[in-house]
Structure 1
């Protein structure tokens, strides 16, 4: 990127001023050419961060960056490269960009790594968390982390003071809390082990209510009307399995106004995501990938892509669909990129277990 320095801008303004002396005088209303901002680091550009969870029990989780620039250059292990080859950790589950920082949740390492969002150099570590799952920020001063603590026991949400990088409060929410999302002045937490969405007041950090949904809620998205979409996994691996379901909660009144159950109680639904315009939902189910409008009153019957993925993302500007393939964790994974209509356009190497995408 070409950078126009302040001194160069001053020179341009002076030339304009002297060129106009015959007609008018220079005054304080002279408009200077726009100065381009300095590039703040290698990742100060449009692209997508690919989260690679790594092998469970091994600290080989990583982050890749795929640039939107010509050639779609991919850079691998960007955390380790920026931090003297230090490993990121064991099972990367989440990455959130908040201001000039990126927050990387590393579940089995019980921490959130805090890095500069443009260089990925480490700035802090939120340690001593208890099986953290997902992170979301209210603003640049305050955030929340869902924590399992221990499987089968009540989990919690930790309130994080981002100025001090300390836990300021913990809020009990029930077993296996998963994704969490701020909508308006409330925090919504998918409590998968209790089949509810916990509602927390972000001003007081107190639990207001539980909204009952179908079995195993774990993924959340908020559409353009601030309605909350919940993907529930259902009960699996039992003699009485229940089907996955997609539900919509009207956040204005806290009511479930739509529940769309999937047909096969044995099949898995996963990877709920939204278009950039927040009016189209995407998910994987029973070996295929589907898309549907937020106004739909029934689940789609025709697949957009005739295959499933380990992870799914949709570019907010181009509408291209990114699907992560874990390759059974036998080595590096891959990411397939598709047009909005579902035609494959490229395939890119990823790290081990690509499980999420964050678009800059």
Structure 2
């Protein structure tokens, strides 16, 4: 996962000035200063780190890095806000919209809807292998569901008032990330190499766009155009080694969302021996970031060729860009053996912070 939806609180400006970067350590108990007018400990500037946990165990969690706490990370913040209840098995995604946050837990087959300022659960929706979330408004959200491997997946329409599924829309095998642009919902369907476009007024499919093999990640730029990162198709030999004669390279495609949605360009990566991933965008939405071949790249949205000069000489299990500072957040899951690690870099690639989080960090959500 990556940064998905952000909100900022102006009253935290004083705290920002205090938050000098430095190497920090974890604390066992929350110690996040709260503005007297705040609606809870997370009604302030900071970043949530989504930790998926070990598959098959309820070790998924959230960490929180608060500016007002001097850039000291707090771990297991959902668990501490909900009477020591674990978040679940494989925390896949988190989206913040106004006063609520949606947390998708894949292998626990559920969506947790929580108060964005306190993290206390407001409702739970049962789903089938859910993947990612997008919020239309205070009443309605969409969640992709794999349902069952090898069978068509779907998009669940969620009533955010009654915490129920009001409709499901079959879209194809293994749907992944989804974005709402100009009243349309765009869904990357990785198993069928397409992007499905859904009308959010009728919740009916308008059209389907063919893209490169295995589209998984989406971002929207400042022009309201949609970028699609396809990882490429990996083909295996009988002994589970990769058959590179049949494996395809990844690609970055641009969809013009004005009028009739259409793919306007596709840039193919140079090698089929590495899959690109972790597509994200900066705060002004004019620069993309992604991982490829063990490195991290950045490029302007106006470029018509892929960047060949890395900004960081390593890749990450999760990647996010602070929308205000432009700082780069990258996570290392350390092979899911113990706690994960988060690294923070200035926009020029200078490392400024490192800290430990939960098991398997895979994304960042800035508030």
Q: TM-score, normalization: structure 2?
A: 0.87
CA distance in 2, matches of 1:166, 1:149: 17
List runs of 5+ in structure 1 lacking aligned partners.
Answer: 4-35
List runs of 5+ in structure 2 lacking aligned partners.
Answer: 1-10, 12-34, 237-242
CA distance in 2, matches of 1:243, 1:170: 32
Q: Corresponding residue for 2:37?
A: 38
CA distance in 1, matches of 2:324, 2:99: 22
Alignment pair present for 1:132 and 2:130: yes
Residues 1-360 of structure 1 correspond to what in structure 2 (within 5 A)? 38-69=37-68, 71-127=70-126, 129-238=127-236, 239=243, 240-252=246-258, 253-360=260-367
Determine helix, strand or coil for the equivalent of 2:132.
strand
The alignment's C-alpha RMSD in Å is 1.2
Determine helix, strand or coil for the equivalent of 2:267.
strand
CA distance in 2, matches of 1:357, 1:65: 10
Report how many aligned residue pairs link the two structures. 325
TM-superposed CA distance for 1:71, in Å, is 2.1
Determine helix, strand or coil for the equivalent of 1:42.
coil
After superposition, what is the alpha-carbon deviation per residue over 1:33-77, rounded to whole angstroms, capped at 9, x for unaligned? xxx972111111100000000000001000000012362021110
CA distance in 1, matches of 2:98, 2:69: 26
CA distance in 1, matches of 2:69, 2:139: 36
Determine helix, strand or coil for the equivalent of 1:81.
helix
Q: TM-score, normalization: structure 1?
A: 0.89
Determine helix, strand or coil for the equivalent of 1:302.
coil
CA distance in 2, matches of 1:311, 1:76: 17
Determine helix, strand or coil for the equivalent of 2:335.
helix
After superposition, what is the alpha-carbon deviation per residue over 1:1-51, rounded to whole angstroms, capped at 9, x for unaligned? xx9xxxxxxxxxxxxxxxxxxxxxxxxxxxxxxxx9721111111000000
After superposition, what is the alpha-carbon deviation per residue over 1:269-302, rounded to whole angstroms, capped at 9, x for unaligned? 1000001000000000000000000000111111
TM-superposed CA distance for 1:163, in Å, is 1.1
- Tell me whether 68-77 or 56-65 shows the greater mean CA deviation: 68-77
CA distance in 1, matches of 2:223, 2:169: 28
CA distance in 1, matches of 2:293, 2:67: 31
TM-superposed CA distance for 1:222, in Å, is 0.6
Structure possessing the higher relative contact order (Cα contacts under 8 Å, 6 or more residues apart): 2
Larger-Rg structure = 1
CA distance in 2, matches of 1:203, 1:102: 23
TM-superposed CA distance for 1:268, in Å, is 1.5
CA distance in 2, matches of 1:202, 1:104: 21
